Structures are given as C-alpha cells and as structure tokens.
C-alpha cells in the first residue's frame, strides 16, 4: 500500500495555556512544564524510525520538535547517528484568531459575547476579525499534510503543531464534520498516530501520554471550543 506513517504531536505546555489565553499565531515560548513534556516525548520516540521532522515555525512547536529530533536517548541508541533536522512549515501554524489573540476566555466572553457564541458553536464560516475560519483552517491543514506526507511514502514522519491542527487531523482521519462536538483529547505533547495515503488520512492511535503523568483535566486554550 502507498502510505506514510505520521506521528502528530501537539507542542508542550505554555504559560498562556495555563492562563487560558488565546495564542493563535502569536509566538509564545514553552514554560518549564512544556520543556519537560518535550523532553519526555523525545525520549518516548527515541526508538521510532523517523525519516523527517516537520514543525510549525512558532517557537512553542519548534522547540518541541527540536527536543524530538535532538533527543539524547535517540543518539545514545545509535552512536553513529546524528540529530535529525527540523524543517519549519508555516502551513502547520495554529489557527489565526485575529483580534481575539492574547485575550483570555473570560475577556472574550465579556468583551465580545457574539464572537464568543460563534466560536463556542464552532460556526465553520465565522472568522475573528483578521483571523481564520474553521473552513479555511481545515483546507490549509489538509493541503499541508498532503504536501509533506506525499514526499515520504513508505516512511514515518513527525509533524509538530498545535491543538487546532491536531483537532483538524483527527476530524480528517475520522471523517467528522467541522461542527461535530469534540469528544477527543488534545493533550500537550501527546503522541497521535495517523496513516496517510493519496485517498486521505486514517486513525491509528490517539492521545498517548504514557510517557509522562498528565494531571491536567483537559486542554486549556482555544482548542476547548
């Protein structure tokens, strides 16, 4: 079968995740917990055959990707191996939240109640002022994954991105509509496994966090909607 295996990883935790502040395409660093999560997922994937690592160019994703590509555990398993390169791709960026970026959930509910209602209802055509609709996000992610995966048929690649991107990947792999209420988890630094063929994505495994003890009750940013 003509297929590419994909390890899809959400970035590690940031302070804005904890604060329930919309990050969107603003460039936010990992916090200490996020850096630890990135190291743990790098260790967990040390024995995986990986042909390439692709990442959103935003720092929280790129730093997570580097922890995977440069994992000391991977290098220790093969003394002749060198660290993998990380290739940045803007197509893997988080959804652009326009005028709502940098706002907390509470600020959005109070200051922009109509926008909050449309966001929470997952209106596929609504876009924050200056931002992206769910329809546009889905099209961008589908095109990006097709572009990258088609270059690695018969191999396994890593895609490091964001909660909104992970949500789209799950929906594409399970043929779920953009407006379908979410019942799946989008954990920071969770390991998600997909299979790509020219016909589309299929789901292999989702939300593996066995590489660290996750005490969080759920995603704490724009991915909640």
What lies within 8 Å, CB to CB, of 89 at 6+ separation is 54, 55, 56, 57, 144, 148
pLDDT band at 219 (very low <50, low <70, confident <90, very high): very low
Taking CA atoms, 216 is separated from 34, 185, 195, 207, in Å, by: 13, 11, 28, 13
> What is the chain's length?
225
Compute the radius of gyration of the chain from its Cα atoms. 17
Q: Compute the average pLDDT of residues 167-171.
A: 98
162: its two tokens: 């964001």
**According to the model, what pLDDT value does residue 225 have?**
47
Backbone angles phi, psi at 123, to 5 degrees: -60, 115
Q: Compute the average pLDDT of residues 174-198.
A: 96
201: its two tokens: 């994505």
pLDDT digits (tens, 9 = 90+) for 55-88: 999 999 999 999 999 998 888 877 666 779 999 9
Please list the active-site residues: 11, 94
pLDDT band at 24 (very low <50, low <70, confident <90, very high): very high
Percent of the chain at pLDDT exceeding 70? 92
- Say if strands 52-55 and 86-88 run parallel, antiparallel, or are unpaired: parallel
The residue assigned the tokens 């990135």 is 38
- CA angle (78, 61, 197) in 5-degree steps: 75
8 A C-beta contact, residue 64 and residue 189: yes
Map out the domains of the chain with their CATH numbers: 4-214 (3.40.50.1240)
79: its two tokens: 């003394």
pLDDT of 220 above 90: no
Taking CA atoms, 38 is separated from 41, 68, 115, in Å, by: 5, 7, 33
Percent of the chain at pLDDT exceeding 90? 87
8 A C-beta contact, residue 61 and residue 54: no
pLDDT band at 135 (very low <50, low <70, confident <90, very high): very high
Print the SS3 string covering 116-150: HHHHHCCCCCCCCCCCCCHHHHHHHHHHHHHHHHC
pLDDT of 216 above 80: no
Is this model's pTM higher than 0.85 or not? yes
């Amino acid at each position: 079968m003509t297929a590419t295996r994909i390890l899809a990883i959400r970035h590690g935790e940031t302070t804005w995740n904890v604060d329930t502040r919309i990050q969107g395409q603003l460039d936010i660093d990992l916090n200490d917990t996020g850096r630890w999560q990135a190291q743990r997922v790098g260790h967990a994937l040390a024995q995986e055959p990986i042909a390439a690592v692709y990442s959103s160019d935003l720092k929280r994703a790129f730093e997570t990707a580097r922890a995977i590509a440069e994992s000391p555990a991977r290098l220790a398993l093969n003394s002749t191996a060198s660290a993998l390169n990380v290739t940045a791709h803007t197509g893997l960026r988080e959804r652009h939240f326009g005028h709502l970026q940098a706002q907390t959930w509470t600020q959005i509910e109070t200051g922009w109640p109509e926008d909050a209602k449309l966001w929470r209802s997952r209106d596929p055509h609504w876009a924050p002022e200056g931002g992206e609709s769910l329809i546009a996000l889905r099209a961008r992610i589908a095109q990006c994954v097709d572009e990258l995966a088609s270059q690695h048929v018969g191999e396994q690649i890593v895609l490091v991105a964001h909660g909104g991107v992970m949500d789209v990947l799950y929906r594409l792999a399970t043929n779920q509509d953009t407006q379908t209420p979410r019942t799946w988890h989008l954990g920071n630094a969770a390991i998600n496994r997909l299979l790509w063929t020219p016909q589309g994505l299929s789901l292999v495994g989702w939300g593996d966090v066995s590489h660290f003890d996750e005490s969080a009750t759920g995603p704490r940013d724009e991915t909640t909607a």
